[in-house]
A and B are shown apart, each in its own frame.
Chain A
Amino acid sequence: AQTVTQSQPEMSVQEAETVTLSCTYDTSESDYYLFWYKQPPSRQMILVIRQEAYKQQNATENRFSVNFQKAAKSFSLKISDSQLGDAAMYFCAYRRLSGGSNYKLTFGKGTLLTVNP
């Protein structure tokens, strides 16, 4: 079974600084998707960024970028120029690309990010 591990329960960053959130996962699949979701205090789940495992290029979305290391099964999220609105719980998630149960998202336990003014 796939597992997703976020080893940092909490992180903090100064406004305008850069922070990196860690995520590792375990799978025997070769093709899959990885995601970072943001859950602000409203509890709405918001997709931040997505990475296809078959793509070597790291995904970027404005101030958000990932460092995807497939061999190491590592998928970290870098937030540049942190803003107060980035404060939230961040979840790393995995999903198979094909085959049975490829609709299931498997989530880590989350990292609570605090942004200090």
Chain B
Amino acid sequence: NAGVMQNPRHLVRRRGQEARLRCSPMKGHSHVYWYRQLPEEGLKFMVYLQKENIIDESGMPKERFSAEFPKEGPSILRIQQVVRGDSAAYFCASSPALAHYNEQFFGPGTRLTVL
């Protein structure tokens, strides 16, 4: 059973460009979570999605950031008009359901560098 897949692993964008980060959850997992890790910091929750639904986006910046988890295909975290402060590692995690005992399994992360 393959783990959580994220691609690309590294992404370089110039200021003003768009960044698209993809996450394929583990097989059988229908819940996806995105976290951001700024330099020298721990991970911070951004958004929680189920198939075709955003459940909680309270950790997402109000502008330029959006996330989706379509019925088919991976979850996408989209950052429009990137700025240098968006440079970070973005981690996706998945779980089979929202049972309190369920572990979140993390992907390897996407490191975004904004020039």
Dominant SS among interface residues on chain B = strand
Using C-beta atoms within 8 Å of the partner chain, give the interface range for chain A: 20 to 34
Instruction: Contact check, B109 vs A43: say whether CB atoms are below 8 A apart.
Output: yes
Closest Cβ of chain B to A23, distance in Å, is 11
The residues of B that contact A98 with a CB separation of less than 8 Å are 100
Interchain CA distance A102-B98 in the complex, whole Å: 9
Say if the beta carbon of A30 comes within 8 Å of chain B: no
Say if the beta carbon of B91 comes within 8 Å of chain A: yes
The interface bits of chain B over 79-114 (1 if a CB of A lies within 8 angstroms of the residue's CB, else 0) are 000000000010101010010100110101101000
Identify the A interface with B (CB < 8 A).
4, 33, 37, 42-47, 50, 91, 93, 97-98, 101-110
13 A-B contacts (beta carbon < 8 Å): A4-B42, A37-B106, A42-B108, A43-B108, A44-B106, A44-B109, A46-B106, A91-B43, A102-B98, A103-B33, A103-B48, A105-B45, A105-B104
